[in-house]
């Protein structure tokens, strides 16, 4: 399994307010995997015998990871809502060491780019903690590989 190092968290400027908001994660991101997206359009021929496809541009590297055991449900929901609304979320592998950070765009939460579903964490249901899966990409198009470590 992979995790993102340190006492991680997100910082962002809310859409409807001023000032920076910090959301510290209860646990490091878990089940981290790499993904790739590209703009691809496909269709079948009129006689349905040939599949046509056009790819526009190259691919974009993304990371998919799980946020687990979150007790600040409203804080997490606000961060995710702002991310899905297009605000840049800045990921800090360690909120204590602010020198390393990664500006990211949130692509989806639990596979949706519009809905924020936060089901209870299967391992922490007794204290009402929630979990979700997020898909994100760097704003500058760089790789997120430098914040990943195998454990």
- Confidence class of residue 124 from pLDDT cuts 50, 70 and 90? low
- Which token pair is 43? 């269709």
Mean per-residue pLDDT of the chain: 81
What is the reported pLDDT for 87? 92
For range 120-128, the mean pLDDT: 68
Judge whether residue 43 has pLDDT over 90: yes
61 Cβ partners below 8 Å, 6+ apart?
Answer: 34, 35, 36, 137, 138, 143, 144
The alpha carbon of 69 is separated from its chain's Cα centroid by a whole number of angstroms, namely: 16
Tell me the pTM. Answer: 0.75
What is the reported pLDDT for 46? 94
């Amino acid at each position: 399994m992979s995790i993102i190092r340190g006492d991680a968290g997100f910082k962002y400027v809310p859409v409807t307010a001023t000032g920076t908001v910090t959301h510290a994660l209860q646990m490091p991101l878990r089940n981290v995997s790499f993904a790739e997206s590209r703009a691809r359009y496909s269709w079948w021929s009129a006689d349905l015998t040939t599949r046509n496809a056009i790819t526009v541009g190259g691919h974009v590297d993304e990371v998919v990871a799980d946020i687990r055991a979150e007790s600040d449900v409203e804080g997490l929901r606000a961060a995710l809502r702002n991310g899905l609304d297009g605000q840049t979320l800045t990921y800090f592998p360690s909120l204590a060491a602010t020198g390393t950070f990664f500006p990211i765009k949130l692509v989806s939460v639990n596979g949706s780019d519009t809905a924020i579903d936060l089901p209870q964490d299967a391992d922490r249901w007794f204290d009402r903690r929630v979990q979700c899966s997020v898909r994100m990409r760097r704003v500058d198009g760089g790789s997120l590989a430098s914040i990943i470590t195998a454990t």
